[in-house]
Amino acid sequence: MRVRTSYEGPLGDLFAHRATDSAYNAHTDRPAVLALAGDVAGSSVLDVGCGAGHYIAELRARGAAEVVGVDGSETLLAHARERVGGDPGVTLRRHDLEEPLTFLADNSFDAVVMALVHHHVEARRQLLSEAHRVLRPGGVLLLSTTHPTADWTWHGGSYFDEERVESSVGDGLTISYRRMTLQTFLNELLDAGFTLERVAEPRAVEAARHIDERRYLKTRQTPFFLAVRMRKTR
């Protein structure tokens, strides 16, 4: 299975649009992950599953010296190129995230961001191992995913089901991703050599209320995402 190839064309355009100012992407996930990132001034950052470049733009605005964005969707990368323009501090590359990041050197980044892409990937352990490899000693991994409780609520069945599911995102479009338990999620990160530093269950920031009050209120009652800050300690 190849990661995010379905995010081409209309689906890629839809997500590029939603990530710009949606209650969930722009005002729930992104503020939480950037808060976990802390000060990135002068840092070299890898954005795995960079999508339309929203994180890249934010990281550069916050002083990151270099950001490398990698994604499997040419549609999303086209949006990213438009967003970052000719910024010399940004490199974008199309790559299937089911494959190792062999074009990146060991110990070459201060931080790796994996925002809402991890659950789409089948080769998760390989990808986490690659993130560990390219991080410098003491580097941080910032990762967000769908919340296991939310998946259980939406898709039903047993909480311990870890099947691949599809969800409608409107306009006749669907996305596919892998459910996982909290146990699976955390243990795969620990097995890859990371130490857990912080956990966040993001709720929408106040700005979301003015965009979509219904979704804003939903995030205040139901966990949608789970975000962690991990450190490379071995």
What residue segments make up the domains of the chain, in order of their start?
5-146+186-229
Q: Which is higher by pLDDT, 176 or 186?
A: 186
What global pTM score does this model have?
0.93
Contacts of 82 (CB under 8 A, 6+ apart): none
Q: 153: alpha, beta or left, given left = phi > 0 and alpha = psi -120 to 50? A: alpha
Structure-token pair, residue 21:
């100012």
The arithmetic mean of pLDDT across residues 119-129, rounded, is 96
- Per-residue buried b or exposed e for 94-112, using 16+ beta carbons within 10 Å of the residue's own CB: ebbbbeebeebeeeebbbb
Query: Degrees (nearest 5) of the Cα angle 79, 178, 219?
Result: 70
Is the pLDDT at 3 greater than 70? The verdict is: no
pLDDT tens, residue by residue, 30-89: 999 999 999 999 999 999 999 999 999 999 999 999 999 999 999 999 999 999 999 999
Contacts of 136 (CB under 8 A, 6+ apart): 107, 108, 109, 110, 232
Instruction: Supply the pLDDT for residue 103.
Output: 97
Mean pLDDT of the chain: 93
Q: Are 4 and 73 in contact (CB under 8 A)?
A: yes
Q: Are 8 and 75 in contact (CB under 8 A)?
A: yes
Q: 127: alpha, beta or left, given left = phi > 0 and alpha = psi -120 to 50? A: alpha
The overall longest dimension of the chain from CA atoms, in Å, is 48
Band (pLDDT 50/70/90 cuts) for residue 4 is very low
Q: From CA 46, how far away is CA 23, in angstroms rounded?
A: 25
Q: Into which CATH architecture does domain 5-146+186-229 fall?
A: 3-Layer(aba) Sandwich (3.40)
Q: From CA 51, how far away is CA 46, in angstroms rounded?
A: 13
List C-alpha distances in Å: 159 to 23, 152, 156, 194. Answer: 26, 5, 8, 25
Q: State residue 22 phi and psi, 5-degree precision.
A: -85, 155
At residue 207, what is the residue type? A
